[in-house]
Amino acid sequence: MVSSMVSSASQRPTVAPARAVVTILALAGVYFIAAKLGLRLAFLNASASAVWPPTGIAIAALMLLGPRVWPGIFLGAFAANVTTAGTFATSLGIAAGNTLEGIVAASLVARHAGGVRAFERAPNVFRYALLAAVLSTTISATVGVTSLALGGFARWSEYGAVWFTWWLGDAAGALIVAPLLLLWARPSPSGRWDRARLIEAALVGLTTVAVGNVVFAGDLPIGFLTVPVLAWTAFRLGPRETAAGIVLLSIVAIWRTLQGTGPFAVGSENTSLLLLQAFMGTMALLNLPLAAVVAEWREVTRLLRESEARFRELNHHERGTAAILQRSLLPRALPEIPGVEAAARYLPAEPEAVGGDWYDALVRPDGELALAIGDVSGRGAEAAAIMGKLRNSLRAYAPEGLDPARILQRLNEAMEPGEMATLLLMVVNLLAWKGRYVNAGHPPALLVGPEGSAKYLEGSGLPLGTTLNRRYEEQAVDLTAGSTLILYTDGLIEQRDASLEAGLARLEASSHEARGAAAGEAIEEVVLRTLGGRAPRDDIAVLLVRMSELPVHRVALRLPAVPASLGEVRHTLRRWLAPKPLSEGDLSTLLIAVGEAATNAVEHAYGLADAVFSVEATDESGLLTITVSDRGAWRPPRALEHRGRGFQIMRGLVDDVDVQTTERGTSVRLTRNTRAGVAP
C-alpha cells in the first residue's frame, strides 16, 4: 500500500507537469480572451457583464480535462479582472468565485447529470440547467459582487442589480457555451457527414444568420421566429448542430441588440442584454433537450435497422472472433410459413460486444413451430460459447419426438457447474391453435390478441444450470387467429430508474399500438415505444411472431425441391383445408394425391442445388384446385411409365388430374369438387 502510494506520487510529477502546465496556461489564455470580450459588454458595473461565456468554458474545461486544470481558470479570471477594473484583492476574490463556480458545477453535473454526456439525454439537460446554470452560478455572483462591494467598486445599494446581472450572465454562459464545447468535444453519435447533410447544415446556418438579422435588426416583437429555425436544427441535424445554432444566433442577437435594434433593445444596454440572455437561455433550455430526444430516437431506430443488416453482413465478412461467434448464435433466417409472420431484432448495448442474449425459431418435422429465446448470464466469449451450446442442443433435440419440458431437461443436463441461463421455449401447433411452453426463469412471453388484448404467459421454473429443480412444467395456451407472440430478453423491460413492473407495463402498452402493422414494423414499434426513445442499457433480443388464418380462396407455397418440403406442403394444406367441408378420409385422399405430385417434383430435381417447386391451392366456392409445378427444364422428363403410374394413383384419388409438360417444366393440376350434392 505505502510503497505503491509513494511510487505513484513520485511518478506523477515527472510525467504530468509539462503537459499539465501547457494545458493550464492554454486554458488561462482562452478564458482570458473570453472574459475580456465579456467585460467589454459590462455596462452596469465594469466587472459584471450580462454576457459571460467564460462560465461555459470553465464548466466544459473542468469536465473534459478534469478538476486539476482549475488554476487555468483562476489565472485567466484574475488576469482579465486585474487588467480591467478593481484591485489585486477584488480580482483575487472574483477569480476565486469564478473557479469555485466551475468546480462545483462540474462535480454536480458529473454526479447527477451524466457528466460529459449531459447533453445527450433530455433529463440530464434539465438537471444540468438546474445544477450548473441556476445553482452553481450563484457562487460566482455572490463571491464576485461581495468582493466588488467590499473593495468599494460597487455600492451596496446596487448589490441586487449587479448580482442579478452577474448571475444571469453566468447562467446564460453555462447554457449556451458549455453545450457547444461538450458536444463537439465528444465523438459524433450521429454518424458521418455526407454531402446532403453538409448542404443542409450550411442551409440551416445561413437561415439562422438570416433569421437572426431579420428578428434582431428590426423593431417588431418577432423573437418567436427563431423557434422554427432551432427546431429544424434539432430535428434534422442533432444536438451538436443545435448547440452551434444557439451560439450563432446569440452572436447575431448580441451584436444587433447592442446596435439598439431588435425586440430586446429596450431602455439601457444592460437591461436589453439581460432580456436577450434570458431569451437565449430559454431557447437553449427548450431546444437542447429536444435535440437530445430526437437524437436518441434516431439512435435506437438506427440500431434496429442495423441489427438485420449487420447480421447479413456478418454472414459475408468474418471480422474477428466476436463476429464469428455472433453469427453462429442467431439464425440466419426465420422460418417462412404461410400465415405466419415472424420478425426478430438483436440490439447490442455496445456495438462490437458479444452479449448473452439469443433467439431461435424453427419448424419441427410435424409442422409445429418451435420458438426459443434465452439469456446466458455473463458476457463475452464465454457467455457466447454457452449460448452456442444451448442453441445447438435445442436444434438437435427439437426435431425429435420430445415435448418442450423434456427438451429443457436435456438442455439443463448439458449445463456445466457455474453456468447459468434463462430460456423460454414455446411450441406452436398452427393446426390446433395451441401453444405449449416451458419457462426456465425467463421473462414471460406476451400474447397479444387480435383486438389488442395483451396478457403475459405466466408460469416459470428455475433457470438452467441450477441443480435444485430438474423438472420443468409445461404450460398450455390457446391461441387465436391474428394473435401475436412477443418473446424478449430483459434488456427490453429493464431500465435503471424504473421497476420491472413498469417495464412490463410499458411493453404491454406498446404492443397495443403495433398490432395492425406488418411484423417488421410492429417489432420496431414495440421496441421503440417500450424503450421510450432511450438507448438500450443492456443487450436486447426480441422475437415477434404473428399467426393468421390462411386466406380462404388461395394459398401458395414455394419450397426447395427436397424431401423435407413434402411435410411442409401437407402441414400448410391441412391448415388451409381444416375449415372446409371435407371428411377425414377425403382430406387424406387429397393430401396423398398432392403428395404424389410433389414427390415427383422433388425427385425430378433431385441433386440440383437451388431447385424449387411450387404449390398453389385455390377454392372457388367448393371447387378445390391444387397445382404442383416444377421447373424441369434442366433434365429430360423421366420415363413415362414411372410417372404414368403416379398419375394413375392421383386419378384414383381426385376428380380430375391435368398434366402440362412444357420446356419450362411440369405442372400437375388436381381438382376436387366439395360442392354440396356432388359425389366424388
Partner 1 sequence: MELAKVAASLEDGLIIASLSGEIDLSNAADIAERLYRAVPHSAQGVVIDLSDLRYIDSRGIHVLLQVLERLDVRQQDARLVLPEESPLFRLFVILSIDKSPGVHRTVEQAAERIRTQT
User: Rule CB under 8 A: which residues touch partner 1?
Assistant: 364-366, 368, 399-401, 562-564, 566-567, 570, 584-585, 587-589, 591-592, 595-596, 599, 602-603, 645-646, 648-649, 652-653
Tell me how far CA of residue 9 lies from CA of 16, 69, 87, 151, 634, in angstroms: 11, 18, 38, 41, 81
d(CA 326, CA 384): 8
Closest to partner 1 by CB, 377 vs 599, is 599
Distance of closest approach, residue 126 Cβ to partner 1, in angstroms: 56
Distance of closest approach, residue 486 Cβ to partner 1, in angstroms: 25
Distance of closest approach, residue 236 Cβ to partner 1, in angstroms: 54
Closest to partner 1 by CB, 81 vs 627, is 627
Closest to partner 1 by CB, 242 vs 565, is 565
Residues sharing a CB contact under 8 Å with residue 381, sequence separation 6 or more, in sequence order:
321, 322, 325, 354
E-assigned strand segments in 548-635: 554-560, 612-620, 623-630
Distance of closest approach, residue 601 Cβ to partner 1, in angstroms: 11
Q: What is the H or E stretch that residue 604 is in? A: helix 584-604
Closest to partner 1 by CB, 26 vs 402, is 402
Closest to partner 1 by CB, 280 vs 594, is 594
Tell me how far CA of residue 478 lies from CA of 240, 430, 433, 445, 452, in angstroms: 51, 11, 6, 14, 16
Closest to partner 1 by CB, 100 vs 431, is 431
The three three-digit cell numbers of residue 152, written as one number:
468599494
At which residue does the C-alpha cell 417444366 appear?
665
Task: Tell which residue, 489, 182, 544, 207, has the closest CA to residue 361.
Answer: 544
Closest to partner 1 by CB, 84 vs 589, is 589
Distance of closest approach, residue 592 Cβ to partner 1, in angstroms: 5
The three three-digit cell numbers of residue 278, written as one number:
434570458
Task: Tell which residue, 391, 389, 384, 256, has the closest CA to residue 323.
Answer: 384
d(CA 607, CA 283): 69
Distance of closest approach, residue 641 Cβ to partner 1, in angstroms: 14
Closest to partner 1 by CB, 194 vs 584, is 584
**DSSP, residue by residue, 447-491:** EE-TTS-EEE----BPPBT-SS------EEEE--TTEEEEEE-GG
Closest to partner 1 by CB, 364 vs 506, is 364
In three-state secondary structure terms, 338 is coil
d(CA 236, CA 230): 10
d(CA 276, CA 293): 26
Task: Judge contact between 553 and 541, C-beta under 8 A.
Answer: no
Closest to partner 1 by CB, 45 vs 572, is 572
The three three-digit cell numbers of residue 203, written as one number:
442551409
Distance of closest approach, residue 657 Cβ to partner 1, in angstroms: 13
The three three-digit cell numbers of residue 583, written as one number:
371428411
Distance of closest approach, residue 351 Cβ to partner 1, in angstroms: 40
Tell me how far CA of residue 633 lies from CA of 379, 600, 638, in angstroms: 52, 14, 12
d(CA 176, CA 280): 8
Distance of closest approach, residue 431 Cβ to partner 1, in angstroms: 11
Closest to partner 1 by CB, 535 vs 566, is 566
Distance of closest approach, residue 576 Cβ to partner 1, in angstroms: 16
Closest to partner 1 by CB, 377 vs 393, is 393
Q: What is the H or E stretch that residue 668 is in? A: strand 665-673
Task: Judge contact between 475 and 459, C-beta under 8 A.
Answer: yes
Distance of closest approach, residue 360 Cβ to partner 1, in angstroms: 17
Residue type, 379: R
Tell me how far CA of residue 124 lies from CA of 55, 56, 179, 216, 364, in angstroms: 19, 16, 12, 31, 49
Distance of closest approach, residue 435 Cβ to partner 1, in angstroms: 14
Distance of closest approach, residue 583 Cβ to partner 1, in angstroms: 8
What percent of the residues of the chain are helix, what percent strand, and what percent coil, each to the nearest 5? Answer: 55, 15, 30
Closest to partner 1 by CB, 585 vs 607, is 585
